[in-house]
């Protein structure tokens, strides 16, 4: 925890947030109810001000949250870097070096549209390599930009709104998303994933903290073509995929995989009896999905320890439904429930639901 006497924590606090394009109104709504006042924003990027709070706002749709230092504009990276150092020196009177430097672009469009995926791009990589040696001596203790931060690290954040317009801020790393550059899990699959759901599953598994082990049985409802099952198999689990659609042969031919070609709601509950983990990613309306899961988890013989449930919101005007879904899930007597729009989620949220067994 930062000391309240830290001269870098003077009031008011300015915050900068990155989120999925389209989620800005949901971010603003939850933050303004906590007393934040809106300032500059762009699709996928929101800034705000608070007179008292020193902690940047959090929320289901917040991907990254930093204390904002300011922004710089310039025609070339040399001008921008010069202005950036001036900003740092002016804004942070106590010159305490940061343990990490994270540089990333704000999302340039909604996830999935024209195959857009969030994360570093060529420009952000070039900028990070250019500014790192300049900042290194006075402002950084790391040996490379864009490393995964340790919990407790102070991270200098640079968000590229455009190549000629940068926003500078900082945060203290704590949970996984705040440790990853731009809140995006850096992951290199062993083989080409069957679908983008591989990344979504990987992110949800890490974020949940579920102790998934080789040999455990995991079931996925809505498993075709098999990206997420690919991740579960990579982790050494036995996997059952439930989906009326066909699986990719790279998954169906794996001896640790079994395909049940059916709709989940039509199956007897004993199918789920020996499973420890359940992933749900079917394109079915959330209330129907929750009814299917409710029938499974409220059954006496259910041994499930953890559920990772993707629910399609449909559109961002319907975010108030999340609270109703949350309450319905609470009725199943879980030990912990968390909800977040994962960085790889389209217009959907992921519930991580843990049961004490
Ligand atoms: C977004 S895709 C799933 C992607 C998949 N998780 C992967 O990793 O590649 C949604 C899937 O849900 C399946 N689905 C729709 N209704 C279903 C139901 N009632 N039970 C099981 N699967 C269902 C669809 O056939 C479709 O394959």
pLDDT tens digits for 138-163? 999 999 999 999 999 999 999 999 99
Confirm whether 293 is domain-assigned. yes
Task: Please indicate, yes or no, whether residues 14 and 131 belong to a single structural domain of this protein.
Answer: yes
Residue 101 has, within 13 A of its CA and on its CB side, a CA count of 24
Looking up residue 348, the CATH number of its domain turns out to be 3.40.50.150
Ligand 1 binding pocket includes 226 (Cβ within 6 Å): yes
Task: Please indicate, yes or no, whether residues 170 and 211 belong to a single structural domain of this protein.
Answer: no
Q: Is the pLDDT of residue 6 over 70?
A: no
Question: How many other C-beta atoms lie within 10 A of the C-beta of residue 150?
Answer: 11
Backbone angles phi and psi of 327, in degrees to 5? -65, -40
| Structure token pair of residue 108 | 């340039």
- Residue 346 CA, chain-centre distance (Å), reads 11
- Say whether 219 sits in a helix, a strand or coil: strand
Structure letter (DSSP) for residue 140: B
How close is the Cα of 220 to the center of ligand 1, in Å? 9
Task: Please indicate, yes or no, whether residues 269 and 176 belong to a single structural domain of this protein.
Answer: no
CA dihedral of residues 48, 53, 55, 58 (deg, nearest 10):
-60
Ligand 1 binding pocket includes 282 (Cβ within 6 Å): yes
Task: Please indicate, yes or no, whether residues 140 and 227 belong to a single structural domain of this protein.
Answer: no
Task: Please indicate, yes or no, whether residues 228 and 132 belong to a single structural domain of this protein.
Answer: no
Q: Which atom of ligand 1 is nearest to the CA of 227?
A: 8
Ligand 1 binding pocket includes 82 (Cβ within 6 Å): no
Confirm whether 190 is domain-assigned. no
Q: What is the number of structural domains in the chain? A: 2
User: Cβ(66)–Cβ(85) under 8 Å?
Assistant: no
Residue where one domain finishes, among candidates 155, 183, 211: 183
pLDDT tens digits for 54-80? 789 999 999 999 999 999 999 998 999
The alpha carbon dihedral of 146, 175, 85, 73 has a sign of positive
pLDDT tens digits for 201-217? 999 999 999 999 999 99
How close is the Cα of 59 to the center of ligand 1, in Å? 28
Confirm whether 191 is domain-assigned. no
Confirm whether 26 is domain-assigned. yes
| Structure token pair of residue 71 | 């922004």
Mutate to test the pocket of ligand 1, among 112, 196, 221, 222 (most ligand atoms within 8 A of CB): 222
Ligand 1 binding pocket includes 281 (Cβ within 6 Å): yes
Confirm whether 1 is domain-assigned. no
Residue located nearest, by CA, to atom 20 of ligand 1? 263
Looking up residue 104, the CATH number of its domain turns out to be 3.30.2130
Confirm whether 188 is domain-assigned. no
Task: Please indicate, yes or no, whether residues 206 and 174 belong to a single structural domain of this protein.
Answer: no
User: How large a percentage of the chain has pLDDT more than 70?
Assistant: 97
Task: Please indicate, yes or no, whether residues 93 and 213 belong to a single structural domain of this protein.
Answer: no
pLDDT score, position 3: 41
Q: Which of 84-93, 151-160, 225-234, 301-310 has the lowest mean pLDDT?
A: 84-93
Q: Is the pLDDT of residue 318 over 90?
A: no
Q: What pTM value is reported for the model?
A: 0.94
Task: Please indicate, yes or no, whether residues 307 and 216 belong to a single structural domain of this protein.
Answer: yes
Task: Please indicate, yes or no, whether residues 24 and 144 belong to a single structural domain of this protein.
Answer: yes
pLDDT tens digits for 20-38? 999 999 999 999 988 899 9
Closest CA relative to residue 45, chosen from 1, 100, 105, 102: 105
Q: What is the mean pLDDT of the chain?
A: 94
Task: Please indicate, yes or no, whether residues 17 and 146 belong to a single structural domain of this protein.
Answer: yes
- Average the pLDDT over 92-106 and give the result: 91
Query: Which uninterrupted H or E stretch holds 218?
Result: strand 217-221
Residue where one domain finishes, among candidates 183, 216, 244: 183
What is the pLDDT confidence band of residue 7, given thresholds at 50, 70 and 90? low
Task: Please indicate, yes or no, whether residues 207 and 328 belong to a single structural domain of this protein.
Answer: yes
Q: Which atom of ligand 1 is nearest to the CA of 265?
A: 19
Ligand 1 binding pocket includes 195 (Cβ within 6 Å): yes
How close is the Cα of 243 to the center of ligand 1, in Å? 6
Task: Please indicate, yes or no, whether residues 208 and 345 belong to a single structural domain of this protein.
Answer: yes
pLDDT score, position 34: 86
- Say whether 337 sits in a helix, a strand or coil: strand
Length of the chain: 357
More confident residue, 194 or 94: 194
Q: Which atom of ligand 1 is nearest to the CA of 264?
A: 20
- Say whether 284 sits in a helix, a strand or coil: coil
Q: Could you list the residue range(s) of the whole structural domain that residue 317 is in?
A: 197-354
| Beta strands in 45-181, from DSSP E residues, in sequence order | 45-50, 64-73, 100-105, 154-162, 165-172
Ligand 1 binding pocket includes 120 (Cβ within 6 Å): no
DSSP strand pairing (306-312 vs 336-340): unpaired
Residue where one domain finishes, among candidates 136, 153, 183: 183
Confirm whether 51 is domain-assigned. yes
Confirm whether 79 is domain-assigned. yes
How close is the Cα of 229 to the center of ligand 1, in Å? 12
């Amino acid at each position: 925890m930062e000391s309240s006497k830290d001269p870098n924590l003077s009031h008011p606090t300015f915050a900068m947030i990155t989120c999925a394009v389209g989620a800005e109104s949901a971010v603003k709504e939850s933050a303004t109810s906590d007393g934040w006042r809106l300032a500059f924003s762009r699709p996928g990027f929101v800034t705000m001000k608070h007179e008292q709070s020193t902690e940047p706002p959090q929320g289901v749709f917040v991907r990254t949250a930093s204390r904002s230092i300011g922004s710089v504009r310039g025609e070339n990276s040399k001008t921008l870097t010069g202005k950036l150092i001036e900003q740092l020196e002016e804004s942070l009177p106590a010159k305490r070096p940061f343990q990490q430097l994270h540089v990333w672009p704000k999302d340039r469009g909604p996830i999935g549209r024209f195959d857009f995926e969030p994360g570093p791009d060529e420009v952000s990589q070039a900028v990070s390599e250019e500014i790192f040696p300049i900042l290194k001596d006075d402002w950084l203790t790391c040996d490379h930009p864009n490393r995964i931060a340790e919990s407790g690290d102070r991270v200098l954040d640079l968000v590229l709104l455009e190549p000629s317009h940068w926003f500078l801020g900082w945060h203290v790393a704590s949970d996984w998303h705040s440790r990853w550059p731009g809140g995006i899990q850096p992951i290199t699959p062993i083989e080409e994933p069957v679908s983008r759901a591989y990344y979504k599953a990987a992110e949800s598994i890490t974020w949940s903290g579920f102790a998934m082990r080789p040999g455990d049985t995991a079931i996925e409802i809505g498993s075709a073509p098999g990206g997420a099952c690919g991740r579960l198999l990579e982790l050494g689990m036995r996997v059952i995929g439930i989906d009326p659609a066909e699986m990719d042969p790279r998954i169906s031919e794996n001896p640790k995989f079994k395909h049940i070609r059916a709709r989940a709601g039509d199956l007897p509950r004993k199918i789920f009896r020996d499973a420890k983990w359940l992933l749900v990613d079917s394109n079915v309306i959330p209330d129907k999905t929750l009814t299917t899961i409710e029938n499974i988890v409220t059954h006496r013989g259910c041994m499930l320890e953890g559920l990772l449930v993707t629910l399609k919101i449909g559109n961002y005007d319907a975010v108030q439904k999340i609270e109703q879904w949350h309450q319905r899930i609470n009725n199943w007597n879980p030990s912990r429930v968390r909800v977040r729009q994962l960085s790889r989620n389209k217009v959907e949220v992921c519930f991580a639901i843990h049961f004490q067994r």
